[in-house]
Structure 1
Amino acid sequence: MQDVLQLLQAQQDSMVQDLRTLVEIESPSRNAEQIRKVGDVVEGWLNLLGARSERIASSNGDHRLFRLPSPNPQRILILSHADTVWEMGTLSRLSFRIDGDRAYGPGSYDMKGGIVQAVWALKALQTRGMFPCQIDFLLTSDEEIGSRTSSGLIEELAQGAQAVLVIEPSNPGTYTLKTSRKGVGDFYVTVQGKAAHAGGQPEKGVNAILELSRQVLHVTALGTPSKGTTINVGVIHGGTASNVVPAEAWMHVDLRVTTLSEAQRVEEAMKSLHAFDERARVTVTGGLNRPPFERTEGTAHLYELAREVANSLGFVLGEDASGGGSDGNFTASIAPTLDGLGACGDGAHAEHEHVIVSEMPRRAALLAGLILALNPAPEETADPAASPE
């Protein structure tokens, strides 16, 4: 693998230039035109490697599927996304810049650096001849807003895959791979009460904010931190004026779970919420958005392979979990899935977002090496003690 690493290190400046190209195409999740521009650039890069491109229409920008052929029928799925959390115009104050070993810019770490690294990993594999297996490279347009139009496609492509490799960024500081993630859910709880004059006839009103306050305490108590189940009431709203008994109030609830059984427990409890004041009406919408990414034997095997590749490249690779979700949450129960194979750096969704430049070739080599380890050449698996024919 050292030859692959050296090849990629020699192209570090080109990798940084490609990163600049993507970062300087601002691509908010709900801006279809900008997301298509990112897809067009990546399509140009991968078409040079012989990829067949497919566009899957979406309301907020096409999903792009790039298929790289191989005589080997085994198939690997690489997951990536073109959208970012940053709004148009962010570059005017947070421009792409290099400071020492860091490349700063909105979307650089999450996850345009990972896209660049994956493309260069595939370029490195191509220099060895044919690809070691069939590779599906999926670039979606809505990961940052819940993958609502892409989750079905992701699950479909994961069926029958030898492995799913997710190029979300590595955990900051530790540069570890992610072998589990919490599942994510969100709920809206709305209370309908009855308006009345707060001074003249308060007894004729039904205070929706008071009812909602009771629901906040009840819902929060559903969390079980010892099992990794956390519930956060992050937004509340209600009322119109201080002298009016509020007729409506609502809250937005965030759920994080480590197991599907916990997700089911909380979902059932949320859907069965009822009013403490029988004159009020409580309505619940939402649910689990991403199932938990639970560590399986298949994922553990992928991590061990990646660790061995890292050792051959001269560094130690750790393993970690994440409280946030990714598109790997949709595939972990379908096919062996390994996450965090993207950029090293810090600042996802924050103004100090950056990529560690010197790690880009090494992480690209890690991805290339993992694909080779999953599909070794015949001479690499032959028994050296066997007699020749």
Structure 2
Amino acid sequence: MSTVDPTISALSVWLALESPTHHAPGVNGMMDLVAKEVEGLPIAVERLPGRDGLGDSLILRAGPNNGELAVAVMSHLDTVHPVGTSAKDLPVRVEGDKLYGPGACDMKGGAWLALQAFKEVAIAGSAKRPMVFLFTPDEEIGSPTTRGVIEEIGRKSAAVLVTEPARDGGRIVTARKGVGRFDVRLEGRPAHSGTRHADGRSAIREAAHQILAIEGMTDYARGITTSVALVGGGTAANVIPQHAWFSVDCRVTSLADGVMMENRIIDLAPRDPDVVIKVTGGMNRPPYEKSTAVAGLFETARGIAAGIGFDLQDVPMTGGGSDGNFTAALGIPTLDGLGIDGGGAHTLAEFGLVSSIAPRRALIKGLLETI
């Protein structure tokens, strides 16, 4: 008679509870699961009410109260998958070494395994420093309601461990690009496209010029990328369009390039002087650079991994942003990508590798006990 792997069983419960960012009941349900899991343990629980229609945050505290800076762990419990995904397109299931489900890789797998490590260390009383574990509800949309608490905890920490998924082969992240998001709105002059065409000033025509200009700002040699992925406008097929809009995504490798690109995009000037352009937004995640302190923390992690039995490697600066960008930009040594190894994040083929859970859990336990 076969037995169910308790790790798979426990993590499957998390995957089955769908928690897209804008579905506060699901996100809060995830916070409930975490709070219930630490009941009766030497772990203090603080719950921060959500705002702007988003879910709550949860802060766990444990370890010695010795006045030292803390070691902080950070995970988000929101996902990109809408409610109903697990029932139709991405059912929770195991196929060989792959555990499929919404958020299996990004990042419930990492959050779950890190919580187990945190509990182990709290119960054993083996931490040298206070430990803090922050669970957030809004990372997938840029952490608009939680950046303040992320930075507050970061400033009181000697190191920050982020449980975003590992990169291919279990490699972790020690540098990320900065991320900017902008919204561009254009207003032209409407006119009948048949009888008064010359009187019109097309907002869509102007948007086309601006989109090409923004896409042309990409500079691969400097690690700068710009893209327009959402666009809209117009009112009817026979009207010169008065309104148009589009979004801009910008990635940079340095703070200086972030300032430069923000100014270039904010200062967009219309080719047609009769069209008005309004740009809002900015750089919302600063670059996370591999400083000397980050490199030192990585070497500590490599030593712990070697003792567990695997060779830990990192990746070159990656284009995706995370909450680690915020703490690293404050000068706090930050390691990211410490979560589950897997693939298909943000797709309907998302999975985590079951075989990666135990060693990644042991790595985080070792970091909590060593830093």
TM-score by length of 2: 0.94
1:126-156 Cα deviation digits (max 9, x unpaired): 4644433211100001111110000011001
Equivalent residue runs for 1:110-125 within 5 Å: 110-125=106-121
C-alpha separation in 2, matches of 1:330 and 1:282: 30
More displaced, 221-230 or 153-162? 221-230
4+ residue segments displaced more than 6 Å:
none
C-alpha separation in 1, matches of 2:197 and 2:69: 70
Structure 2 counterpart of 1:385: none
List gaps (5 residues or longer) in structure 1.
Answer: 1-11, 375-389
In structure 2, the residue corresponding to 1:47 is in which secondary structure? coil
1:51–1:66 Cα contact (<8 Å) kept: yes
Of 159, 162, 165, which aligns to 2:161? 165
Q: Are 2:28 and 1:33 aligned?
A: no
2:104–2:351 Cα contact (<8 Å) kept: yes
Give the deviation of 1:372 after TM superposition. 2.2
2:78–2:140 Cα contact (<8 Å) kept: yes
In structure 2, the residue corresponding to 1:292 is in which secondary structure? coil
C-alpha separation in 2, matches of 1:289 and 1:151: 10
Equivalent residue runs for 1:204-215 within 5 Å: 204-215=199-210
Cα distance, 1:188–1:71 mapped onto 2, change above 3 Å: closer
Of 100, 113, 132, which aligns to 1:136? 132
RMSD, aligned α-carbons? 1.5
C-alpha separation in 1, matches of 2:304 and 2:280: 45
C-alpha separation in 2, matches of 1:58 and 1:236: 30
In structure 2, the residue corresponding to 1:106 is in which secondary structure? coil
In structure 1, the residue corresponding to 2:157 is in which secondary structure? coil
1:29-70 Cα deviation digits (max 9, x unpaired): 111111111111111223343111111111211111111131
The letter for the 2-side match of 1:27 is S
Structure 1 counterpart of 2:341: 344
List gaps (5 residues or longer) in structure 2.
Answer: none
Structure 1 counterpart of 2:34: 42
Q: Are 2:364 and 1:367 aligned?
A: yes
Q: Are 2:175 and 1:183 aligned?
A: no
Percent identity reads 40
1:163-209 Cα deviation digits (max 9, x unpaired): 000011101x2210100011111111111101111221111111111
Give the deviation of 1:365 after TM superposition. 0.3
Structure 2 counterpart of 1:67: 61
In structure 2, the residue corresponding to 1:30 is in which secondary structure? coil
C-alpha separation in 2, matches of 1:130 and 1:308: 18
Structure 2 counterpart of 1:354: 351
TM-score by length of 1: 0.90
More displaced, 323-332 or 124-133? 124-133
C-alpha separation in 1, matches of 2:63 and 2:198: 72
1:55-106 Cα deviation digits (max 9, x unpaired): 1111211111111131443311100011111111111122211111111111
1:45–1:119 Cα contact (<8 Å) kept: no
1:223-268 Cα deviation digits (max 9, x unpaired): 2221111000112212223322111111111111111111100111
Structure 2 counterpart of 1:100: 96
Of 143, 150, 158, which aligns to 1:147? 143
Equivalent residue runs for 1:79-90 within 5 Å: 79-90=74-85
2:41–2:123 Cα contact (<8 Å) kept: no
C-alpha separation in 2, matches of 1:283 and 1:345: 41
C-alpha separation in 1, matches of 2:116 and 2:213: 50
C-alpha separation in 2, matches of 1:76 and 1:127: 16
Total equivalences in the alignment:
362
In structure 1, the residue corresponding to 2:175 is in which secondary structure? strand
